[in-house]
Amino acid sequence: MKILFINNDGAGFANHIDIEADTTVQSLFNQRIGEGRESNYLIRVNRQPVSSDQILVEGDRVSITPTKIEGAGS
């Protein structure tokens, strides 16, 4: 099935990607960004915050945005 994946990390990009049925937000994040870094990102589906076990459906819009910009002081 197809979803719109928006990666706002670095230069950022938006692409329609194919994923398997019953893919969760957590598994998509692990595939595209990497495991163990979830706390550094704001993850939304259809512009709404979701839990990691949310199952994605055809046509969903997933955005992953870092909460901290690398190189910026805190």
Q: Which pLDDT value is given to residue 69?
A: 66
**pTM greater than 0.85 (yes/no):** no
Higher confidence at residue 35 or residue 64?
64
Hey, what domains does the chain have and what are their CATH numbers?
2-66 (3.10.20.30)
Question: How many Å from the N-terminal Cα to the C-terminal Cα in the chain?
Answer: 40
Nearest 5°: CA angle at 64, between 60 and 67?
A: 150
Distance CA 64, CA 73 (A): 21
Distance CA 61, CA 10 (A): 19
Kindly report the backbone phi and psi dihedral angles of residue 5, in degrees, each rounded to the nearest multiple of 5, phi listed first. -110, 120
pLDDT in tens, 6-63: 988 766 789 999 999 999 999 999 998 887 778 889 999 999 999 999 999 999 999 9
Q: Which pLDDT value is given to residue 55?
A: 98
Q: Which pLDDT value is given to residue 34?
A: 84
Distance CA 74, CA 58 (A): 38
